[in-house]
Amino acid sequence: MANSGAGDVKILDMNYEQLLEAQKDKSVLIIDVREQSEIDKTGALPGSIHIPMGQVANELTSLSAEDFENKYKKPLPSESTKLVLSCMAGRRSATVQDQIQKLGYKK
């Protein structure tokens, strides 16, 4: 874990083996933040839900638990839920990570 220089916001990375383990863990929510056109070309990350980068913070804060589960077929994460953010090269997921950490999501 490395400090990103933005107060108490941390950059959290995981390697491929850790991702494989996260895919097996039902308590982890994997969010693919790529655009729909990218998912159409390369396919979805198994076990993930798709929320484009610009919509993640809004979806986490504005949807009710029932609406989130109806839309994504996964429970609305709490601030203590382990979240994994995925994109093509890591920049977008790092940006979203920063945004949601400021909302209180720390894992």
50 sits in which H/E element = strand 48-50
In terms of Cα–Cα distance, which of 56, 98, 95 is closest to 77? 56
Q: How confident is the model at residue 22 (pLDDT cuts 50, 70, 90)?
A: confident
Position 5 scores a pLDDT of 40
Per-residue pLDDT, averaged over 83-101, amounts to 92
Residue 69 to residues 32, 60, 61, 62, Cα–Cα distance (Å): 16, 11, 13, 13
Q: Known catalytic residue: 87?
A: yes
Q: For the structural domain made of 2-102, what CATH number should be given?
A: 3.40.250.10
Q: What is the pTM of this model?
A: 0.83
Q: How far apart are CA 99 and CA 95, in angstroms?
A: 6
Ordered by start, the domain boundaries in the chain are: 2-102
Strand order in the sheet with 82-86: 48-50, 28-32, 82-86
* Higher per-residue confidence, 69 vs 19: 69
Catalytic residue among 85, 87, 96, 100: 87
pLDDT digits (tens, 9 = 90+) for 78-87: 999 999 999 9
